[in-house]
């Protein structure tokens, strides 16, 4: 643990961009965990006397057409958007890694089947495929997670397949075979830890895509349903008021969405440096 913390401190001190990305990520996590507790107002409480108020001291991000505090709704929405992205990436990472590692290690029919599944998914425009899945199954949070996980699965399958294929005859793998290790044990203990660095970069990128996908589905009416606070819904509701001058309704949730995606895009290099065994020496 001390060695990991020392390596973490070294990575942060050597790369200011990584430090900024991790700091922003920590802020997002705090907002997701403590959102309802730190929000100054009830995100669902309406007040007809305070509709469409511009940003001010009482309401830093203004109020919406129902008098709800936009700042509170942006904070509370972090938990839902981050939860959808984490769940979808978790599912696609483990399913895609298992399929890709199996295809790269054993080859043959396993490789062909996994390859055809990935090619079939990638043949569709991914957001359109997610739209079709959610429209067919119903626009619930669970179906958004499943759809997002499915469209991200080929990325992990292809990366893990390529990395495993390159390493399946490496010296440490052959040494493990000579020691009597089974194929499953070699995959779990020898190959998987060594393919994690490029996978960490993919996870970071997919987190941003997953948040954008969930917000995009909500924006077109196939995602989370009102009155729940969600960045895509808030942007969609605020877009109709931009022409009349109420710019804050769409700007602040859109800025929160942009900051989250920007943060996860910058996290990739830092995560790779943290989990790469060669960079710890």
169, 171, 165, 161: which is closest to 199 by C-alpha? 161
pLDDT along the chain (281 residues), means of 10: 65 73 90 92 90 92 93 94 93 93 91 92 91 89 93 92 89 87 86 83 86 90 85 90 90 93 81 59 50
What are the angstrom distances between the C-alpha of 98 and each of 27, 159, 182, 191, 261? 32, 11, 16, 12, 26
Sign for the CA dihedral angle at 170, 172, 178, 184 comes to negative
Per-residue confidence (pLDDT) for residue 275, from 0 to 100: 62
Which pLDDT score, from 0 to 100, does residue 134 have? 93
* Cα Rg of the chain (Å, integer): 22
33 to 74, 76, 78, 155, 225: CA distances (angstroms): 13, 9, 9, 29, 21
pLDDT of residue 173: 87
Question: CA dist 61 to 65, 113, 193, 229, 254, Å?
Answer: 13, 51, 44, 14, 12
| Domain hosting residue 74, numbered range | 2-280
**Count of domains for the chain:** 1
Q: What is the CATH number of the domain that holds 155?
A: 1.10.3720.10
| Predicted pLDDT of residue 157 | 93
Q: How high is the pLDDT of residue 79?
A: 93
């Amino acid at each position: 643990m001390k060695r990991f913390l020392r390596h973490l401190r070294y990575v942060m001190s050597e790369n200011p961009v990584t430090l900024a990305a991790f700091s922003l990520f920590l802020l997002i996590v705090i907002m997701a965990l403590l959102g309802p507790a730190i929000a100054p107002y009830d995100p669902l409480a309406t007040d007809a006397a305070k509709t469409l108020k511009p940003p001010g001291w009482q309401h830093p991000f203004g109020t919406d057409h129902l008098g709800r505090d936009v700042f509170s709704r942006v904070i509370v929405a972090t938990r839902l958007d981050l939860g959808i992205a984490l769940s979808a990436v978790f599912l696609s990472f483990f399913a895609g890694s298992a399929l890709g590692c199996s295809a790269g290690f054993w080859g043959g029919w396993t490789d062909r089947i996994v390859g055809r599944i990935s090619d079939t998914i990638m043949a569709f425009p991914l957001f359109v495929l997610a739209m079709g899945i959610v429209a067919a199954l119903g626009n619930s949070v669970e179906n958004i997670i499943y759809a997002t996980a499915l469209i991200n699965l080929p990325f992990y399958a292809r990366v893990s397949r390529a990395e495993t294929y390159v390493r399946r005859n490496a010296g440490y793998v052959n040494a493990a075979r000579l020691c009597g290790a089974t194929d499953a044990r070699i995959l779990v203990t020898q190959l998987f830890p060594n393919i994690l660095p490029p996978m960490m970069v993919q996870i970071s990128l997919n987190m941003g895509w997953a948040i954008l996908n969930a917000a995009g589905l909500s924006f077109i009416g196939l995602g989370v349903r009102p009155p729940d606070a969600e960045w895509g819904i808030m942007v969609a509701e605020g877009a109709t008021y931009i022409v009349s001058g109420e710019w804050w309704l769409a700007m602040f949730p859109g800025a929160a969405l942009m900051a989250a995606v920007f943060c996860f895009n910058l996290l990739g290099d830092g995560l790779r440096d943290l989990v790469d065994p060669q960079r710890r020496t």
